[in-house]
Each structure stands twice: as structure tokens, then as C-alpha cells.
Structure 1
């Protein structure tokens, strides 16, 4: 039976990560970052390994030539090994964005961003999976930036970017602290949902809670808008209850002042294990001179993404909306 390229890569990532995990007494995900870096650099960088382990690793690495694989094959295999590692040691905020969702975000970025080169920012970049899913779909010159507070995730994102040869600037910091980045043309983010524990920092935001902790996802939206040029677009994966929370009226006011809602695409609840976890893609445009709202926002109830006939019908509807609203 023929093994697919993704399976070949998965096997090498997985087996070499296990070897390193055992020898370095580290977690599987830490070992995965190490083996990815070895593959990218074409050498074994860990000096404390035994001679036998070095031989074992070399034998594995010789079986693989990265240049023979597409970026998507590398991304998918790397994503699968990360998912394996996360199952062993999962933290609630580290859920990876499903591929079908990432593909749709990429499609929307491609449709809205008319310019041939632009700056793209993901303020909750995680392992870089959503960002590289989008970059692999864009036929444009994109200067991209990612920020994440988790040092292990940012290391995995760095290796992910290297293996796919995407030049991404990565910063390991709290995205809600001051960011020293130039304004961007577009933002993508699978928003981290929950409360932000740092009330002092939150007080610098218009969307801070009047009492108690503020919602991190609200602050992420405001921080993203701050760093976007006038007329720039923001593509957020949001919880369906975004506008129904106790702090939603503040959010509506903020939107009225600062952004235009271009579209809301809702995923079917059947895609999610629990109905309360259901999500949508919200497309915003930052207000500015000569920025006109669409005749009507693009509102779509998405079918099951595996239903090709229904998806074709929806994509035709979206294309029609672009012809009427985005000349």
C-alpha cells in the first residue's frame, strides 16, 4: 500500500520526536520543535545526545528530503504531530483551528485583499497553523507577523514557518501589552476566548469591563484594530455568542465608532462537539477616509463544509456578493 507524503512526514516527525523526548527528558512537543529544527538546519543540533541516538536520528532524517514536499503536505503533517502532542498535554486555549475553517479564512483574505503585496498579522499565532494555512493559499507577496505569549507554541510556529520557508516575524509576548510593530493591512485570528487576568493592562482599553475581568477576545479585537491601517481588513474566528454576552453593548458601541462589518459567516453547529463552542468568521474593515460600507453585509449560514454541492452554491453566492459590493 502506497504511503501518502503527509503520512511519510508524520512518521519521521513522530519517530524522531519520540527518540529526542526519551533522551532529553522533555515533553513530546518540545522534542517536536527540536526535531523540526534539525530537519530544517540539516544537522543534529542537540550536543548532549549519545552516539547511538545521533546515528538513529541521522538514519531517519536521511529518509526525507523536504524539497520534495509541498508546503501544504509539510503543514498538515506537522499539524498532526502537534495535535498528537496536545492530546497528551492539552491546555484549553490551545485548540488548533480546523483545516476547513483555515481554508475559508484564506479564501476570504484572497478575495478582500486586492493589493499584490501586503502586511498580515496574527495576534494569537499559536503554532502558526492558521497563519500558514492562509499563506499557502495566497498568490501574493505577504509580509507576516505573529505574536503569542506561550514560548513553546511560538517555538513550534518558528519551526513551522522555517519548514515551509515562510518568512514570518514572530514575537513571544503578551499580545495585549504594547506591540512594537508597524501598521498592517490585514489581521487574521482565531480569538482566544475567556477572561484576561491583568486588570491593570486591560484598563488601557476602551473595551475594558466596567467591573471584574475584561474579556480577552474583546481586547484582542481592539488591539488588532489599533494596529490596522485605515481601510484594512480583519478576519476573526469568533464564538457565536460574541454579541450576546454581558459586555456586548460596549462591543457594539466600539464597532459603530471604529469599524464596518463586511461579513459574518456562521459554521453549522454540527461541526462542533458542543453547541456552545460553535463559531463564525467575522469580517471587519477599519473606518477611514473614502471607506464605504457595503450595500449590505455578507451574511452566510455555511453548510457542512464536506457537502460539495451546498458549498458550491454558497461560494457562488459569495462571488455574487463580491461583484455587487467590491468593484
Structure 2
């Protein structure tokens, strides 16, 4: 990808967000959502700003047109601005899925789902970066997407992101572990939020509930996704490597045994993470259905550095062989 358009787009998002941040006395991320709205509507929407700022914004928007830019260039430029905003106001749940992981998740979805039209859910959509990375790789497929996010600012950024990229995404601003009023989906993609879920009363309604104390939110997200995916549907989760080693892992294993088939576990390169304890993998699950057989053996892969072309080619060849054996 040509880096220059991405840098130009980032600079435009960054400078205009800084202008609006000062004028509106809001955070950088809130201002970024405002500037994204302006770009989508093709005009400055904020009535309370000074005439000087209005004219400056109009010039900056006019200098960098989105038409003619690829969806990936727009996504990357917007993502860089979001990352800058997150560094200024770091919160534990404000973490963005690395691009390389999103690209690989998108590749896996194209391999596993051989449909021209399907429904996709991200129950922890955040700013929409993972979902949009996956959607950008699906070509001309008709994908009906849904995202759930409890954080007001993050879901606003996801909304702006979807508009700028012209993706049809239905977004719900709510706790994803409360009841969801959505149609069943063909696939789930999610970078699981890791930690404890504070609502013990709600957690008690799940099979994976802890015997005492708080239940792991990432376990609950897996069960909630299982409830909302169709029989035979797939789920692609970014998981902590120690998912099946915790004191609550027994109930999670029971959930999987009762309702799901493990299709694969792909360990992400440890070089992507600050330390080995933070390392993650991609877990691929399929909801059981009548007449549906589990794979002869699960797809187990250790990914090399994604920049190592020859090693990645060998791994992709291994994945192709697994599909030839297990997905005839």
C-alpha cells in the first residue's frame, strides 16, 4: 500500500480533530468523531464554532478528498488518529486489535465461509477497526454486520468508521452480555475483552458462571456468541493463550463440548506482544448442527513473524492442505 495517502489522511484527521477539540472543549477522540461526521456529510456540522475555525476546517477537508482513496487507506488513516487519541487518554478497555491480526482473521473468514451473503457479529466492536479490517477483505460479498459496544465514545467512532468506509453496520450501544435483540448470525468475529465481569446476577444466567466470585468476561462472551450464531456457524476469537488453563476453564470446556466443535487454534507470533504472558491466539469454533461432523483433527498452527514471507507461504500451504482434508 502507498504510505503517502495514509499519512495525508492521518494528518487531516489529526489537525481537524485538534481544532475541534479546542473549540468544543472535548476530548481528542470525541473531536475525531465530530470531524469524521463532517467528512461523511460533506460539510461542517458544528454551529457553535468560530468562523475562522469553520473556514480552516473547510480548507483542510477540501485539500484531502476521500473520493479515489481505497477503503484500506481511509481505515488506516482514521485508525492512526484513534491510536493517537488512545495514547492521550489510556483506558484498559481502549485497546485496538493489531492490523496484522485483523488481516489474518479476514483471511480465515474467507476460507471458512463460502457464501456470497452472510451475517456477521462483533460483540465487542470497540472503534470498529477489527470489523472494518475483515469487511475490507470480503470483496463484493453482501455482508450484514452488527456491532455491540458499551462505551459511548468508542461506538461513535465505530459509527463514523463504518460511514467513511461505506460499510452497512448496525450498531448497538449496550452491555453485550445483557440480552441481545438481534437475528442469528452466520459468523462471529471478536477480540475478546479479558477480565472479570462485575454483574454476578447476570453472569448466573450463563453455563460458564463461576462457582464463586466474578465470572471471566471472555468466557461469557464466548457463550453469548454461541447463543447468537446459527447452527453450523463459525466464531473467530482472539483469545489469551492461557484460556484453557484458568481456575474457571472447566465450565468453558463443558460449554464447548456440549455446543461447539473446535476447528482450530492459531498461535500468533510472540514477537507481537510485550511479554509471553500477554501472548494471544485465534480460536476457531463451529456451532454443532445435525449431521455436521467435527474435523478429523483441529487446525493447529504457530504463525511465524508475518513479515517472514517464505515462512508465511509455508504456513498458508499447510492451511490449504488442512482444508483439502477436512472441508471437502
| TM-score, normalised with respect to structure 2 | 0.98
Pairing of 1:62-77 with structure 2 (within 5 A): 62-77=62-77
CA deviation after TM superposition for structure 1 residue 268, in Å: 2.1
Structure 2: distance between partners of 1:113 and 1:233 = 8
**Which residue pairs with 1:230 in the alignment?**
231
Structure 2: distance between partners of 1:164 and 1:75 = 7
Aligned partner of residue 213 in structure 2, secondary structure: coil
CA deviation vs aligned residue, 1:4-24 (integer Å, no higher than 9, x gap): 110110010000000000110
**Which residue pairs with 1:321 in the alignment?**
322
Structure 1: distance between partners of 2:273 and 2:64 = 36
**Which residue pairs with 2:195 in the alignment?**
194
Structure 2: distance between partners of 1:55 and 1:138 = 38
**Which residue pairs with 2:146 in the alignment?**
145
**Which residue pairs with 1:129 in the alignment?**
129
CA deviation vs aligned residue, 1:272-300 (integer Å, no higher than 9, x gap): 00211100000000001121111110000
> What is the aligned length?
326
Aligned partner of residue 288 in structure 1, secondary structure: coil
Structure 2: distance between partners of 1:206 and 1:282 = 19
**Which residue pairs with 1:240 in the alignment?**
241
Structure 1 3/144 Cα, relative in aligned 2: closer, same or farther at 3 Å?
A: closer
Structure 1: distance between partners of 2:50 and 2:254 = 61
Gaps of 5+ in 2: none
State the Cα RMSD in Å.
Answer: 0.9
**Which residue pairs with 2:296 in the alignment?**
295
4+ residue stretches of structure 1 with deviation over 4 A?
Answer: none
**Which residue pairs with 2:22 in the alignment?**
22
Aligned partner of residue 143 in structure 1, secondary structure: strand
Aligned partner of residue 292 in structure 2, secondary structure: coil
Pairing of 1:59-98 with structure 2 (within 5 A): 59-98=59-98
Aligned partner of residue 313 in structure 2, secondary structure: helix
Structure 2: distance between partners of 1:261 and 1:3 = 38
Structure 2: distance between partners of 1:161 and 1:126 = 12
CA deviation vs aligned residue, 1:64-98 (integer Å, no higher than 9, x gap): 22111000000001110000000000111211000
Structure 2: distance between partners of 1:178 and 1:250 = 21
CA deviation after TM superposition for structure 1 residue 3, in Å: 7.0
Structure 1: distance between partners of 2:74 and 2:80 = 10
Aligned partner of residue 190 in structure 2, secondary structure: strand
